[in-house]
Structure 1
Amino acid sequence: MKKILLGMTLLSTVAMGAEGTNLYLRAGADINGKFDVIVDNGQVANKKKADKMGHEIAVEVTKEVLPNFELGLGVAYQNHGKAEKNIENLIYEGRKRTIYYEMPEMKSIPLYVTTKYNLPVNTMIKPYLKADLGYSFNKINGKLGWNLIENNHKFDYPSYETEVKNGAYFGIGGGFEYNDFTMDLMYKINKAELEYGEKDSKKREKKDLDYSRITLSVGYKFNF
């Protein structure tokens, strides 16, 4: 979190020190967040749906480089939650079994280039198109691990040693601006790869765990 605040502070400082720049502060909530499905040894570990609504805060600094076209940089803190666990109830040799996986929670800090095209309309409400492209630094809390409950007795199994790899980040969408307040709707993806297994094993599993969603954001623009 300290690194995020530092990055946001640096971007804000750049904006205030450069004439003709725009500083955007944004906060958003995810709609219909989805993860890739992980299959471990034939067992489906998770559902596509995220277990909770993700959210983010972002700072962007842009400058108009062409008429109605802004180009700049952004940094964000994004909390994606985790994939909803897949629970299977089975009957094995007359015994009731419940099998499910624990899923790690994922967060991201993307650094990205952002573009904004302001549609040339002479109205108080100014529509725009927006796109982001950058690199997502990913982090997880928790480990991937499976659990077994048989006849109401839970068997304890060790979780896998679990890591997440960084990946690309992009978003595309549009919105509108009114009296320096903004609201937009964007489709976004954070690419990620989950690596798990025995800590020093050369046969650790690697599975995609990309997170995609529609993000509704509100913000405010400062002019310098």
Structure 2
Amino acid sequence: MKKLILAGMILAGISSFADEVNIRAGLNAGNWYNEIGEFNTGNSDDLGFEFTVEYMKEVAPNFKLGIGTGYQANPKAEGKNTETEYYVSPGVEYEAKRGFEDKKYYDSIPIYVTGKYEFPINDSWGAYAKVNVGYSFNLEKDDAVWEDYARYEINDVEQPPIYSNSKSYDTKVKDGFYYAVGGGVKYKSFFADIMYQTTFADIEVNGEKDNLDYSRITLGVGYSFGF
């Protein structure tokens, strides 16, 4: 909550000189995490999304400068060394799993300076290139969890587990640098863009330190309010 209040105060402080407000929603088309030790492959099959708000002012012909923030809901990171065995035969169903689970380790609230250079096409259409540079407040979500179990059913009746072992590892995430580069097109007050983004995050799992930086390609759409 304190981080959200801080972001709001910074944006409110510059609203008096802003001449454009951009409201944007984005969906991640690709996701890459750093591969960490034994518990994370670096892949993710889930989707992340974000909502951002920006205040911008034209400081030179076709060039706007401002500040932004938002909420970035990051996807789960794929667990490493997970072995899954599953088979079904007449009257018997068997499943076994061993390894670290897929987990969402953190979401992010970035606060950043943003610059945009516009390429007007006509009175309605235009294109632009854009850069964001700032700092990300990373919100801790899940701990790393090791899962080791086997279960089976006979004639649809669940049997006692053959073995079962699950352990949670205390996981802490720190804030870090954030940047994004990309571009888009606009039609009147509507716009669509594609951005390559990276959020930096130091992570500590069970006392061992590493980093779990998160990179992605984000497709966004939004609306600009002019002043």
**Residue 14 of structure 1: how far off its partner (Å):** 4.0
Partner of 2:101: 102
Shift of 1:120: 4.2
Whose Rg is larger?
2
Per-residue CA distance 1:93-124 (angstroms, 9 max, x = gap): xxx97421134412000000000000143352
Find 1:163's aligned residue among 172, 177, 183: 172
1:36 is displaced (CA, Å) by: 1.3
Q: CA contact under 8 A between 2:149 and 2:165: conserved in structure 1?
A: no
Does 2:190 correspond to 1:177? Answer: no
Do the aligned partners of residues 178 and 22 (structure 1) sit closer, same or farther apart at CA in structure 2, a change above 3 Å counting? same
1:111-169 Cα offsets, whole Å, 9 max, x none, are 00000000143352100000100001111222112122257534334311110011111
| 1:188 correspondence with 2:197 | yes
Question: Of residues 41, 46, 57 in structure 1, which corresponds to 2:40?
Answer: 46
Alpha-carbon RMSD across the aligned residues, in angstroms, is: 2.4
1:223 aligned partner: 226
Is 1:88 matched with 2:86?
A: no
Tell me, which stretches of 5 or more residues in structure 1 are unaligned?
A: 91-95, 198-203
Question: Could you tell me which amino acid in structure 2 is paired with residue 78 of structure 1?
Answer: Q
Counterpart amino acid of residue 55 in structure 1:
F
1:207 paired residue among 192, 205, 210: 210
| 1:56 and 2:25 aligned | no
Shift of 1:194: 1.5
- TM-score, scaled to structure 1: 0.82
- Is the Cα contact below 8 Å between 1:85 and 1:102 reproduced in 2? yes
Deviation per residue, 1:178-206 (Å, 9 max, x gap): 11111100000111122011xxxxxx211
State the distance in 2 between where 1:153 and 1:136 align.
44
Structure 2 unpaired stretches of 5+: 86-94, 152-160
- Return the alpha-carbon distance in structure 1 between the equivalents of residues 140 and 103 of structure 2: 6
**Which shifted more, 97-106 or 121-130?**
97-106
Report the residue type matching 2:60 in the other structure.
Answer: L
Judged with a 3 Å threshold, the aligned counterparts in structure 2 of structure 1 residues 26 and 188 are, in CA distance, closer, same or farther, namely same
State the TM-score, normalizing by the size of structure 2. Answer: 0.81
User: Is contact 2:21–2:225 with CA below 8 Å preserved after alignment?
Assistant: yes
Count residues in correspondence.
207
Q: CA deviation at 1:208?
A: 1.6
User: 2:19 maps to what in 1?
Assistant: 21
Counterpart residue number, 2:91: none
**Aligned with residue 75 of structure 1, among 59, 64, 69:** 69
Q: Distance in 2 between matches of 1:103 and 1:97?
A: 16
- Contact 2:7–2:111 (Cα < 8 Å) also in 1: no
> Taking every aligned residue pair, what percent have the same amino acid on both sides?
39
Q: One-letter code of the match for 1:207?
A: D
Instruction: Output the amino acid matched with 2:129.
Output: L
